[in-house]
A = this chain, B = another copy of it.
């Protein structure tokens, strides 16, 4: 069930759809040329494990297409999603063998990979690269902390609203400019994944989505397509103050 990518996989970085947002976004032509030499692509099918906690991971990568989740699991199987990788996000930890979470492909995922050691050399040589990676990591840290507020202090209703706002914003980003007012997007993940992301159960997720729909804060087409008629109203339901939206 391989469907065509919107760009030539073996093509040059210049044609890469997420080049302007990825870790390489600040690199100049010469630096890109060097990276172009080293890069290779990998594909994962839906549900496949990309990496396991503690296991050695010999590459780092940028997500070109698809969605992956970062998961932490307790010894008795309770699962918490601690991050979502969308196109342009970075995967891997330079300077360390393994990750502290499992990485799972949600749908078909394409990664632009670099073997770890050569990438670490690149980081040393190419300041643009390290700066950008630091910046992206700081952004992730801010996002993780926003999410800690959600997990620790928000109600089920606020959690679901926040999750939808988060997704809406990130979809906007990927599509370029932010749109005000009504907008719609696809949920890239199942109810179970939403539950594991928000720290709820599937049933509670389902109920809260139904309630938000009944209150017309959202409408659904099927089970995966969401329309938000009034994003400000949804943001209010998310219980954030309005300095900014979640990432």
Listed in ascending order, the chain A residues whose CB lies under 8 Å from chain B are 53-54, 70, 72-76, 78-80, 82-83, 93-96, 100-101, 123-124, 127, 130-131, 133-135, 137-138, 140-142, 144-149, 151-154, 198-199, 239-241, 243-244
Contact = CB atoms under 8 A, between A and B. Distances in A.
The 5 nearest A-B residue pairs measured at CB: A152-B199, A151-B151, A82-B145, A144-B144, A72-B149
Contacts of A151: 148, 151-152, 199
Contacts of A79: 153
A210 to B, nearest CB: 22
Contact of A141 (B127, B144, B149, B153): B144
Given A130-B134, A137-B134, A138-B137, A145 B239 contact: no
Contact of A146 (B95, B100, B146): B100
A85 to B, nearest CB: 13
A54 B83 CA distance: 24
Contacts of A240: 74-75
Contacts of A74: 149, 153-154, 239-241
A147 to B, nearest CB: 6
Nearest to A247: B100
B101 A153 contact: no
Nearest to A159: B152
A146 B72 contact: yes
11 contacts: A70-B145, A72-B146, A74-B149, A75-B240, A76-B239, A80-B149, A101-B145, A127-B130, A137-B137, A137-B138, A151-B151
